[in-house]
Structure 1
């Protein structure tokens, strides 16, 4: 019997493949879901790492900020009302009778009440905000008190911002902590940008829904982004309007809120938000925006000003208060209304704020540096020590040596006098100038003018290497004095001279006036700046010696080995010459000129503190005599114009003029400032001005604008004051017609006396001898009358009126016995 194959029902046969397909499809779908979830998880991990890496690491490239030196206030300090007015204006302090907020002051007569902002110089050197009460009388601080204890007796008014060193990204910001942000600004931000900020977890479903409904209903276009999402967009993403970017934004916002607190997110947003453009640099964060639009710290802004900044977050270009003031004000008022609706402000506060003008400043402090030449020198000094990226990105604070009062004086002096000189002739219409000034004792640079109205990068104070002319003559005379062969009254020959050069040619230097003067006193030769005498003296000691002396004075440039170098045919900058005259001004001590006091990192650690690197460069006796000779230049020489500053200041200096009147120089000093001025043309064409008519007027105008102290150089031990015969250098007497009372080195006293002095000495000795003999004769006569013996049977020989018995013999050895008399 055959078995028959059983047949399945038709319905069952058709179900099996269908089930298999379903299982396969489900498996595939499950695999896809699993793979998708794995990929999503991996993607979320990637996003999470991106978030945490940047948020917990270095969030921003923070520019370095450069400040001036602070203003030190203490009893007896030379501070007048004009100085205080200028400094408070530079800091943008506001006059307020209540002086109840930082950055405010009240002046009543000569009494000041100043509520300072405080300043952090380093982690261990912090000036807290305080109220200063101060009285000024006779251009000095008479009394000073403070609400903060002070062990030093010195209260510092914070330094002035002079610029920054910015990242390559061209982002500028001033990072503030949440504690430094006014609560009304936070309230305004929450009320306007994200009212549910403290409730949602990064994404607001209600906000998105409200924005969608509003947009579809024809209302104004709104976004549903939370503050967290806005931070994600600005901090991590871009502004592309794509679904992918929006999805990433939402995911990353949730992840960010899982990791960090609301305060951390809010603080980062406040420092990240873009709020405008300053040239090619973006203004990021409310801290910098407060300075950029109002020249005030964030915590000093009024309610309406805070609301304006919050309003700009929606569109910094659309609501730019400088370009679109009406739109900016309307947006500000919307923010204020939001705050009123949220109960953040009262109706009275709202009404008052609405009435306020925008109050935006025309020229922000955070714009172009008002002292670009000085800032340029600071940058150059920093670049010698630090990597460029560290300067641009690490948020360093640099306290410079700039004195804003001196700098403003320099700017005004150059602007005024250069304007006058440019109107003189066609030769001077393209005139340029450079001015550098420093504290001679510390070497701190206090003022620099080195460019025109717009800084181009060419800073004449350091970049303009020009022939310096007679500014180097004091080095020649210093060498002569140091040798002991010459003193201040010694004769130097100013007759024509011919110098044989190495190539067989001859050089015949001439005086500027074209006149010869024969033998003249050393001080006169320098004061009148005679060329022929300077060349003769320089050649006597040699050009090599001249070059070595310049190196002692800090000149690093190679000095050409030809005689014309003696007359200043050496290309040096105003800053080079400032270093030379700094030595003369300090008794022979060289302290390198510098522009930086301290460099502090973003944690308050001091990376650099410039100390006094002072070394003896010239013997004190030599420098003392050189200083005397330089003072003669002002008293009786080519710099007489400087006497207008005050004869009691004992100023010293030297004019300089180069061939064909191409360059005009003056270098000089008071007790507290050493300054150098150059005037010339960039194309090196003649200007028709000498040092006395071109550079000196600028120098005098500058020095007249600042407070000067007299030159009071301490007298070294190796100096004696003697009467010398002018133009011979021999010992003399005050009764001689050509006698001058001058300092002389004890080691090199003159060994000869003038004929006038010898004659007076002989007469003095003769009179003394006669007086002694007359007195002795009277005594002997009295003893005889009394019947007493005359001791040793002394017999007094008669002496004639001229004392010729043996006085002449004693003149052969007069020096050893008569030096004190002379």
Structure 2
């Protein structure tokens, strides 16, 4: 017994150990089973979640599309003033290619004074402009003929497609131009599949063979030289996931790729990939999809590219930064040639065609066409006007097409005029380079369309927009409003003598305002039109006080000033702060004969399907009666003939007869000029950002910029329509009716009831030698017997 008892105990201990092990095994198996079940449930949940994400995003709105912003199209017609080189500049900006003879759309040729262009079609807000082969003839600076190059028949008006001048982007700054699969050239699809996923049409989302091949290649190379991702996996990574590198993300990528292939066709997946793939960077703007990449690298649409260009684009998928053709052209060329070799090997290109493609240059434009900041100051104005009518999310996700009023020809002229003139002024006056700043706004004289906005001498720099946000005293630019308020009251005429003598005005607080003329002299009695022409401060202040400050303030509001204007006497001489754009609104009303039209930078807005969303029609309101508006224009034309603006008037010539006004503020801090012709209005400001003296009057600074831009635009003559109730009379220097051959006599327009009743001794009364028409005699008798 004593010997067996330990044996029994030992056996029991072994039995217990076996039992413990067996229990642990069962517990472990149970735990593993539970974990497996939990894992399967979690995996199933992940699959269900991923499936929901894929279907929601892929079937719904797949991309947040930026709004595309376009300039006004160039219109061609016989008789239009347009220099041949300006048409050439427009075609180059649009990405047209110069050829000996145009064979494809987007090509042109030049022979002597004739252009032949094979235009691209374009869908505008008012219909489709078809592709045409046109012949444009020039005679000097004018389009002499516009014909169909095929039939020889004359054409009325042909619109080129508008330049894309920018976009309004989502917060992540992605940009793309959507393309449909049937719009993508087969050569590009072949190149893409050849280098990125040769088994694309055979696999079901992931390629085990591709993964194994990439793994083996990477092991042999000792680093990552190949990726095993299919096109579907790449699409999932770009479209649904982050750039995180982990096994978890790789697994999720594989699951989503399988789900994507389960729900959608190869064609749908390929089309999405073509629009989603990342292909470059333009500052903060990401270039996505081959549609935009074609514009970004070649300034042409996809359908106009050749095999060499398609190979380059397909090769960029591997590494847009590494193979950037602008920064690394040789590296990009080798990559392109490698893609061409693969195309030849796959049968996508013949050996001969491949050899020819490899001989071609890269063909990439030196600089990318503009993205969000081609014309930042103008785009700024567009965005501000859009935000009055649309929500921010509409502007950055709905793919709106915004057709603006920007005229690239006017914008180019304005940018060049401001930059070159400021540089010249600094050089002539021995100033430090870059100390002067300026801004410029150009608009039409009727319709209120803004054609150009320059926010500073570095026009392409998206910094402080002086045209919209530099609010500065306007100086003598306010004076036409003072004189117009007088003329509108029918008590004054252009010949009315105004006393240009010193005056004092006491405020209610006891302060005394003593204005002075720029030359520190007084000039006695001067006709009203001469007081404006020579910008006499004393005469203007007296006139404004006689008319009444409330009437002058009201006139400024009628002309378009929206901000509050304090009724201080100093306002009469320009102690009023406005931006150049606000000044343009005031002078727009003057240029339009007293009809106020809100300035606009937008013509039409279309949604992604081409349907109009918002129209920007003319909103015209008569702010000033035609007669006084005509008279103030005549007085401002005299400014350009004999007054402070005569330098610019002489540059344009007497036949143009522009109207304008200089503006200078205290201590020569601000130099202004505003003026208009028959078709253009421009407002220029020159000064210093730190508000110290620029040492420039309106005539020596801003007027020079104005003259430069107007000369470039070759404006039409200013010939206002004479309204009813206006008649012309010859008057002498004292404003008395006179003969045309009397010393100092001028012929002026008068509103009914304001014709002078006094006569010059030289001639003008009965028995005098005044040479009047029958209409003049009738008016004389009317005044005599009033």
Scaled by the length of structure 1, what TM-score is found?
Answer: 0.87
Given that residues 51 and 256 in structure 2 are in contact (C-alpha distance below 8 angstroms), is that contact kept between their aligned partners in structure 1?
yes
Correspondence 1:528 to 2:534 = yes
SS of 2:200's equivalent in the other structure is: coil
Query: Counterpart in 2 of 1:693?
Result: 700
Alignment partner for residue 182 of structure 2, among 179, 184, 190?
Answer: 179
Cα distance in structure 2, aligned partners of 1:764 and 1:458: 62
**1:623 offset after TM fit, Å?**
0.8
SS of 1:493's equivalent in the other structure is: strand
- Compared with structure 1, are the counterparts of its residues 389 and 151 closer, same or farther at alpha carbon in structure 2 (3 Å cutoff)? farther
Cα distance in structure 2, aligned partners of 1:102 and 1:535: 63
Alignment of 1:764-803 (within 5 A): none
Alignment of 1:721-760 (within 5 A): 721-728=728-735, 730-757=736-763
Query: Counterpart in 2 of 1:437?
Result: 442
SS of 2:250's equivalent in the other structure is: helix
Query: Counterpart in 2 of 1:417?
Result: 421
SS of 1:761's equivalent in the other structure is: coil
SS of 2:675's equivalent in the other structure is: strand
Correspondence 1:107 to 2:114 = no
Cα distance in structure 2, aligned partners of 1:426 and 1:764: 56
Correspondence 1:551 to 2:557 = yes
523-532 or 149-158: which moved more? 149-158
**1:725 offset after TM fit, Å?**
3.5
Correspondence 1:673 to 2:710 = no
Query: Counterpart in 2 of 1:708?
Result: 715
Q: Cα deviations across residues 350-387 of structure 1 (Å, max 9, x unaligned)?
A: 11111223233231114563322111211222222222
Query: Counterpart in 1 of 2:251?
Result: 247
Given that residues 427 and 686 in structure 1 are in contact (C-alpha distance below 8 angstroms), is that contact kept between their aligned partners in structure 2?
no
397-406 or 350-359: which moved more? 350-359
Query: Counterpart in 2 of 1:57?
Result: 60
Query: Counterpart in 2 of 1:775?
Result: none
Cα distance in structure 2, aligned partners of 1:373 and 1:416: 18
Query: Counterpart in 2 of 1:268?
Result: 272
Cα distance in structure 2, aligned partners of 1:732 and 1:442: 40
SS of 2:575's equivalent in the other structure is: coil
Given that residues 751 and 815 in structure 1 are in contact (C-alpha distance below 8 angstroms), is that contact kept between their aligned partners in structure 2?
no
SS of 2:286's equivalent in the other structure is: strand
Q: Cα deviations across residues 443-472 of structure 1 (Å, max 9, x unaligned)?
A: 000111112426353111111111111111
SS of 1:423's equivalent in the other structure is: helix
SS of 2:447's equivalent in the other structure is: coil
Cα distance in structure 1, aligned partners of 2:768 and 2:358: 98
Alignment of 1:260-339 (within 5 A): 260-339=264-343
Cα distance in structure 2, aligned partners of 1:105 and 1:441: 34
Cα distance in structure 1, aligned partners of 2:245 and 2:422: 56
Unaligned runs of 5+ in 1: 1-15, 766-812
Alignment of 1:83-482 (within 5 A): 83-122=86-125, 125-146=127-148, 153-217=156-220, 221-367=225-371, 369-425=373-429, 430-453=435-458, 455-482=461-488
SS of 1:607's equivalent in the other structure is: strand
Correspondence 1:563 to 2:566 = no
Correspondence 1:573 to 2:575 = no
SS of 1:345's equivalent in the other structure is: coil
Cα distance in structure 2, aligned partners of 1:741 and 1:26: 113
Given that residues 71 and 163 in structure 2 are in contact (C-alpha distance below 8 angstroms), is that contact kept between their aligned partners in structure 1?
yes
Given that residues 468 and 572 in structure 1 are in contact (C-alpha distance below 8 angstroms), is that contact kept between their aligned partners in structure 2?
yes
- Compared with structure 1, are the counterparts of its residues 650 and 217 closer, same or farther at alpha carbon in structure 2 (3 Å cutoff)? closer
**1:659 offset after TM fit, Å?**
1.4
Cα distance in structure 2, aligned partners of 1:494 and 1:502: 24
Cα distance in structure 1, aligned partners of 2:657 and 2:221: 82
- Compared with structure 1, are the counterparts of its residues 818 and 716 closer, same or farther at alpha carbon in structure 2 (3 Å cutoff)? closer
Given that residues 340 and 350 in structure 1 are in contact (C-alpha distance below 8 angstroms), is that contact kept between their aligned partners in structure 2?
yes
Question: Which protein is bigger by CA-based radius of gyration?
Answer: 1
Query: Counterpart in 2 of 1:495?
Result: 501
Cα distance in structure 1, aligned partners of 2:154 and 2:613: 25
Cα distance in structure 1, aligned partners of 2:158 and 2:495: 49
Query: Counterpart in 1 of 2:73?
Result: 70
Alignment partner for residue 725 of structure 2, among 718, 721, 729?
Answer: 718
Given that residues 162 and 371 in structure 1 are in contact (C-alpha distance below 8 angstroms), is that contact kept between their aligned partners in structure 2?
yes
- Compared with structure 1, are the counterparts of its residues 452 and 541 closer, same or farther at alpha carbon in structure 2 (3 Å cutoff)? same
Cα distance in structure 1, aligned partners of 2:582 and 2:155: 36
**1:217 offset after TM fit, Å?**
5.0
Cα distance in structure 2, aligned partners of 1:737 and 1:663: 38
**1:161 offset after TM fit, Å?**
1.8
**1:621 offset after TM fit, Å?**
0.5
**1:555 offset after TM fit, Å?**
0.5
Correspondence 1:537 to 2:508 = no
**1:535 offset after TM fit, Å?**
0.6
Given that residues 474 and 526 in structure 1 are in contact (C-alpha distance below 8 angstroms), is that contact kept between their aligned partners in structure 2?
yes
Pairwise CA RMSD: 3.1
- Compared with structure 1, are the counterparts of its residues 186 and 552 closer, same or farther at alpha carbon in structure 2 (3 Å cutoff)? same
Cα distance in structure 2, aligned partners of 1:284 and 1:428: 44
**1:306 offset after TM fit, Å?**
1.4
**1:245 offset after TM fit, Å?**
2.4
SS of 1:451's equivalent in the other structure is: coil
Query: Counterpart in 1 of 2:6?
Result: none
Cα distance in structure 1, aligned partners of 2:600 and 2:75: 20
343-352 or 33-42: which moved more? 33-42
**1:243 offset after TM fit, Å?**
2.9
**1:322 offset after TM fit, Å?**
2.7
**1:330 offset after TM fit, Å?**
1.8
Given that residues 130 and 148 in structure 1 are in contact (C-alpha distance below 8 angstroms), is that contact kept between their aligned partners in structure 2?
no
Cα distance in structure 1, aligned partners of 2:198 and 2:744: 93
SS of 2:701's equivalent in the other structure is: helix
Cα distance in structure 2, aligned partners of 1:498 and 1:241: 79
Alignment of 1:38-57 (within 5 A): 38-57=41-60
- Compared with structure 1, are the counterparts of its residues 354 and 326 closer, same or farther at alpha carbon in structure 2 (3 Å cutoff)? same
Given that residues 121 and 600 in structure 1 are in contact (C-alpha distance below 8 angstroms), is that contact kept between their aligned partners in structure 2?
no
Alignment partner for residue 589 of structure 1, among 575, 578, 595?
Answer: 595
Count of residues paired in the alignment: 760
592-601 or 232-241: which moved more? 232-241
Unaligned runs of 5+ in 2: 1-18, 771-776
Cα distance in structure 2, aligned partners of 1:327 and 1:738: 77
Correspondence 1:615 to 2:621 = yes
- Compared with structure 1, are the counterparts of its residues 757 and 673 closer, same or farther at alpha carbon in structure 2 (3 Å cutoff)? same
